[in-house]
Amino acid sequence: MTRTTRRRVLPTTEELRVWRGFIETAEALRAELGARLQAECALSPGDYAVLLALSEADGQRLRSSQLADDIGWERSRLSHHLGRMEKRGLLRREECRTDNRGAEVVLTTEGSAAFRGATVPHLTAVRELFVDALTPEQLTAAGEVAAALRAKLG
């Protein structure tokens, strides 16, 4: 195979520039959204992810293993985080009703109120920092990019 017909294995300089811009911007966006969530609602992004998953679950309860899968966390990380949230009254852990080998995480009234109170400020920040920064065409393209990346990751 000649040098000109061989497939390039590494990203080009331009491809790396786009990659770094994408990663650095995504991290800056996540950091700003997290800082606002903490400042305005006293919730971390992790708290919000847990509360969102529980609020969407049947009966506002999930097995801890399912919750870990839903939010993409390792079980040990989730266990420590749940302990901190439980101390704040945002959730409680109960024995699983159908299988006594596992535990279910249950959203409390306080957790539900905290989630509801954080939703409007958080979504307002999402609109301000993400949606309003893009044209409708760019927003569509961003959705297509996210879908293509998710498909590639399986």
Write out pLDDT tens, residues 113-123.
999 999 999 99
Question: Residue 124: which pLDDT band, with cuts at 50, 70 and 90?
Answer: very high
CA–CA dist 63, 42 (Å, integer): 25
Instruction: Give tens-digit pLDDT for 51-104.
Output: 999 999 999 999 999 999 999 999 999 999 999 999 999 999 998 877 777 789
CATH 1.10.10.10 fits 22-153, yes or no: yes
Which residue bears the tokens 């939010």?
71
Residue 31: name the closest of 45, 17, 48, 52 by CA. Answer: 45
Distance (Å, whole) CA 47 – CA 26: 19
Length of the chain: 154
> How many Cα neighbours within 13 Å face the side chain of 17?
3
pTM of the entire predicted model = 0.86
How far is Cα 1 from Cα 58, in angstroms, rounded to an integer? Answer: 58
Query: What confidence score (pLDDT) does residue 7 get?
Result: 77
Which tokens sit at 111?
């957790």
In the sheet with 61-63, reading across from the earlier edge strand, the strands are 61-63, 103-107, 91-95
Q: Which residues, 6 or more positions from 51, have their beta carbon under 8 angstroms from its beta carbon?
A: 43, 90, 91, 107, 111, 112, 114, 115, 118
Element (H, E) at 65: helix 64-71
Per-residue pLDDT at 111 = 98
